[in-house]
Amino acid sequence: MNEKDKQIIENIIDFCNRINEYVSYYGNLKEEYLQNQLLQDACSLIIIQLGEQVNKLSNEFKEDHKDIPWNEIIGMRIVHTHHYEKVIDEIVWETIQNDVPHLKRYLEKILK
């Protein structure tokens, strides 16, 4: 792995930690997330930043690690950036609860 990809992975892990921190602050409850526009906006920003970082990973790295749906992460970033009226909060919640922790664990293993 090259140094640039390593730095990007560290950034992605940091964003995963931040999104978890934001949700945990409000009790990690779906109902709270769905009713809290501030929390939704904060999580949306992190999703945008995650997608930006993934977009910067080398094609070689993404090819070597096909277990992660890189294009879906970038696609979610595009929706949050350019088509925010199409964001489905329940899907974002599931992403935060399931996909973000999985991505974090996967990337942490790569760094070890």
Q: What is the mean pLDDT of the chain?
A: 95
Q: Which residues contact 19 (CB under 8 A, 6 or more apart)?
A: 43, 46, 47, 50, 96, 100
Backbone angles phi, psi at 83, to 5 degrees: -130, 45
pLDDT tens-digit readout, 17-60:
999 999 999 888 999 999 999 999 999 999 999 999 999 999 99
Q: What is the pTM of this model?
A: 0.92
SS3 category, 60: helix
Q: Are 46 and 22 contacting, i.e. CB atoms less than 8 angstroms apart?
A: yes
| Residue ranges covered by each domain of the chain | 3-111
- The residue with greater pLDDT, 15 or 83, is 15
The pLDDT of residue 90 is: 94
CA distance 24 to 65: 29
Q: Which residue has the tokens 């090819």?
A: 63
